[in-house]
Amino acid sequence: MPQPVKLYYMGPMFRYERPQAGRYRQFWQIGVEAIGSDDPALDAESILLMINYFKSLGLKGLTLYINSMGCDKDRPKYMELLREYAEANRKRLCKDCQKRIDLNPLRLFDCKDESCQLVMKDAPKLLNYLEEDCRKHFNMVKRYLEMQKIEYIVKPELVRGLDYYTKTTFEVISPFLGAQNAIGGGGRYDKLVEEFGGSPTPGIGFAIGTERLAIAVEKEGAFDSIEDRMDVFIAVADQSTKPNAIDILYALREAGISADIDYMGRSLKAQLKYANRRGFKYTVFIGPEELEKKRVAVRNMETGEQIEINIDELIKVMRDIVKAA
Residues forming the site for Zn ion (CB under 5 A): 70-71, 73-74, 94, 97, 111, 113, 116, 131, 134
User: Closest Cα partner for 97 from 123, 72, 74?
Assistant: 123
Check: CB of residue 239 under 8 Å from CB of residue 264: no
Rounded least distance, CB 116 to Zn ion, Å: 3
User: Closest Cα partner for 282 from 309, 247, 242?
Assistant: 309
Question: The sheet that has 5-14: what strands, in order across it?
Answer: 5-14, 26-35, 203-209, 182-188, 166-173, 63-68, 153-154
- Coil, strand, or helix at residue 63? strand
Rounded least distance, CB 74 to Zn ion, Å: 4
Burial of 188 (0-12, 13-18, 19+ CB in 10 A): buried
Q: Which is nearer to Zn ion, 74 or 290 (CB)?
A: 74
Rg, Å, the chain Cα set: 29
User: Closest Cα partner for 317 from 301, 302, 303, 296?
Assistant: 296
Q: Which is nearer to Zn ion, 70 or 203 (CB)?
A: 70
Q: Which is nearer to Zn ion, 195 or 289 (CB)?
A: 195
Q: In Å, how far are 2, 129, 166, 213, 214 from 46, measured between CA atoms?
A: 19, 25, 15, 18, 21
Q: CA-to-CA distance for 74 and 71, rounded, in angstroms?
A: 5
- Phi, psi (5° rounding) for residue 97? -70, -35
Q: CA-to-CA distance for 62 and 65, rounded, in angstroms?
A: 10
- Nearest 10 degrees: Cα torsion 153, 144, 142, 201: 110
Rounded least distance, CB 148 to Zn ion, Å: 25
Check: CB of residue 100 under 8 Å from CB of residue 108: yes
Q: CA-to-CA distance for 184 and 93, rounded, in angstroms?
A: 28
Amino acid symbol at 323: K
Q: Which is nearer to Zn ion, 94 or 309 (CB)?
A: 94
Q: Which is nearer to Zn ion, 116 or 172 (CB)?
A: 116
Rounded least distance, CB 32 to Zn ion, Å: 24
Q: Which is nearer to Zn ion, 73 or 273 (CB)?
A: 73
Rounded least distance, CB 115 to Zn ion, Å: 7
Q: Which is nearer to Zn ion, 133 or 211 (CB)?
A: 133
Rounded least distance, CB 119 to Zn ion, Å: 8
Q: Which is nearer to Zn ion, 158 or 296 (CB)?
A: 158
Rounded least distance, CB 68 to Zn ion, Å: 8
Rounded least distance, CB 77 to Zn ion, Å: 11
